[in-house]
Amino acid sequence: MSAELALAAAVETVMQNGDVTEAPFLEADAAAAIAVGLSALAAGYAERGIGAAAIGAIAEDDDLFVPGLIMTVLPETLVIFAIVVVFLV
Amino acid sequence: MSQGASNTEYVSARVRARRAALFADEDYRKLVRMGPSGIARFMEESEYEREINELGARFSGVDLIEHALNRNLAKHFGDLLEWSEGRLYDLIARYLRKFDVWNVKTIIRGIYTETPAEEIQTDLIRAGELDDATLDRLLEVDAIEDVVEILDGTVYHDPLEAAYEQFEETGALVPLENALDREFYEHLLDNLGRPQEGPEAKYVEFLQAEIDFLNARNALRLARSGADLDPASYYIAGGVLFDQQDLNRLVTDLDELVDHIAENKRYGKRLSGALGQLREADSLIQFEHALDAALLEYSDTLSSIYPVSVSSVLSYILAKEREIENIRAIARGREVGLSESEIEEELVIL
């Protein structure tokens, strides 16, 4: 019952003032930081497999060093896109 | 069983590179026209350079080729075991144990025929799980009983011990060799269960195919030879094509046996060409080559369904073995003066 009352009070505040006075769950900066962190984690996981395969290929044939390196860092683009978010918020 | 994560990506990348270095069909066509020294020279310019150079001073002609092939095979398969970790190691080692079986068999045969240890030594393929020290100790003994003793602690000890009694009674090596083979094939599918999908299901499917083909081959040989042997002692459990009753019934009738294989859903279509040939030409060798080719093709399909998995490794192992056998067949064929077309018939090429 009290929750409903609180909700009604909150709605009233919004309707009267046009904005919310309570602090949001996450500040925008913190949300962006989490986004970057998660994408870096995902990129790292993706690079794990590619890196292992690339090292295997380089061990067999030295010429594959450059292609291997490029393939390995491709998932890094994930992090770059995530950093864009930092500038957007 | 080894624990921990596997490094499938690493191993498959290396294996793919090595697969690409195998001889192509054109190379075989060139090799067929060469003599033994030509083949050795051709090999010196390829993958086998190191082995040929190492052994060149000690051997010549076909012996050189043969030993270089064995050593190269051992090197590559030893590498596989060295690279792989965890579950992958377990799956690869399981299959490579067949070289352990081969080595123990060779040693037993050598002792039986009283061949000097140096000669046995050159026929070993050190690619299995038995380490060099154990193999060297096995080479030193001169009674089969001691071989069984040294293998104490490995999976081969108990079956060998049981078979040894039979050996003492009959004086024939067959029970010992059979015991080794059965031990290998029956452990092949240990603790794998019946996975329904994923790379491991394909791995199991492939091993089952190998067992089935082996059973089919034995059954055909038995049916053809008409010898009064007990088929049950050649039967290897684990396949899907035959059960023991089937085999007992079918070895007496060749046509029915061929029909039984043709009716099987899994292999019937794949082997239809070979089965047709078998019905018409009665050529067992052709059929056995067709089985080998079918197995190779099978493993190829498996490796393209799950490119980064144990199947691609398995497919490499098979292709490499086939290459070794093909080169050996060419060298031996040239040595005894077979014609080019006769040698080509002996080759297993996809």
pLDDT tens across the length of chain B (350 residues): 445 678 889 999 999 889 888 888 888 888 888 888 888 888 888 888 888 888 888 888 888 888 889 889 988 998 888 888 888 888 888 888 888 888 888 888 888 888 887 778 777 888 877 888 888 888 888 788 888 888 887 878 888 888 888 788 777 777 788 788 888 887 787 777 777 777 788 888 888 888 888 888 777 777 776 666 666 667 777 777 777 777 777 777 777 777 787 777 777 777 777 677 667 766 677 777 777 777 777 777 777 888 888 888 888 988 898 889 888 888 888 888 888 888 877 777 76
Residue among A45, A47, A55 with most chain B CBs within 10 A, to mutate: A55
A62 has a chain B CB within 8 A of its CB: no
DSSP secondary structure code for residue B24 in this structure: P
Phi, psi of B146 (to 5 degrees): -65, -35
How far apart CA B106 and CA B118 sit, in angstroms, is 12
Which residues in A lie closer than 8 A to residue B75 (C-beta atoms)? none
How far apart CA B14 and CA B316 sit, in angstroms, is 10
pLDDT of B119 reads 78
For residue range B221-243, what is the model confidence (pLDDT) as tens digits?
777 766 666 666 677 777 777 77
pLDDT of B111 reads 85
> With 0-12 CB in 10 A as exposed, 13-18 as middle and 19+ as buried, what is B92?
buried
pLDDT of A13 reads 58
- Taking an 8 Å cut-off on Cβ atoms, the answer to whether B18 and A60 are in contact is yes
Distances (CA, A) of B247 to B133, B226, B234, B257, B258: 41, 14, 10, 8, 12
pLDDT of B200 reads 81
Q: B28 is written with which tokens?
A: 């075989």
How far apart CA B265 and CA B268 sit, in angstroms, is 6
B308 has a chain A CB within 8 A of its CB: yes
Low-confidence ranges of chain A (pLDDT < 50): none
What type of residue sits at position B278?
L
What distance separates the 2 farthest-apart alpha carbons in chain B? Answer: 54
Rama region for B337: left / alpha / beta (φ>0; ψ in -120 to 50; rest): left
Which residues in B lie closer than 8 A to residue A53 (C-beta atoms)? 9-10, 12-13, 308
User: Which of A43, A47, A66, A65 shows the shortest CA–CA distance to A56?
Assistant: A65
- Cβ neighbors of A21 (< 8 A, separation 6 or more) are A13
- Cβ neighbors of B49 (< 8 A, separation 6 or more) are B43
- DSSP H stretches of helix in chain A: 2-17, 28-60, 65-73, 76-88
Q: What is the three-state SS of B46-104?
A: CCCHHHHHHHCCCCCHHHHHHHHHHHHHHHHHHHHHHHCCHHHHHHHHHHHHHHHHHHH
User: Rounded to the nearest 10 degrees, how much is the dihedral formed by the CA atoms of B232, B237, B239, B240?
Assistant: 70
pLDDT of B172 reads 76
DSSP string for residues in B289-345: HHHHHHHHHHHHHHHHHSSSSHHHHHHHHHHHHHHHHHHHHHHHHHHTT--HHHHHH
- Answer yes or no: are the C-beta atoms of B206 and B314 closer than 8 Å: yes
A45 has a chain B CB within 8 A of its CB: no
pLDDT of B1 reads 44
Smallest CA–CA distance from B84 into chain A, residue: A56
How far apart CA B11 and CA B326 sit, in angstroms, is 25
Q: B210 is written with which tokens?
A: 């190998």
A14 has a chain B CB within 8 A of its CB: no
**Count of CB pairs separated by less than 8 Å, A with B:** 33
Buried b (16+ CB within 10 A) or exposed e, B101-120: bbbbebbbbbbeeeeeeeeb
B12 has a chain A CB within 8 A of its CB: yes
- Cβ neighbors of B264 (< 8 A, separation 6 or more) are B241
**Domain edges within chain B:** 88-171
Q: B234 is written with which tokens?
A: 């050649």
> With 0-12 CB in 10 A as exposed, 13-18 as middle and 19+ as buried, what is B201?
middle
Which residues in A lie closer than 8 A to residue B5 (C-beta atoms)? none
- Which of B9, B12, B14 is nearest residue A59 as measured by Cβ atoms? B14
- Taking an 8 Å cut-off on Cβ atoms, the answer to whether A56 and B18 are in contact is no
- Answer yes or no: are the C-beta atoms of B178 and B170 closer than 8 Å: no
A57 has a chain B CB within 8 A of its CB: yes
pLDDT of A20 reads 59
For residue range B241-297, what is the model confidence (pLDDT) as tens digits?
777 777 777 777 777 777 787 777 777 777 777 677 667 766 677 777 777 777 777
Smallest CA–CA distance from B307 into chain A, residue: A53
B7 has a chain A CB within 8 A of its CB: yes
B14 has a chain A CB within 8 A of its CB: yes
A65 has a chain B CB within 8 A of its CB: no
ipTM of the complex model = 0.70
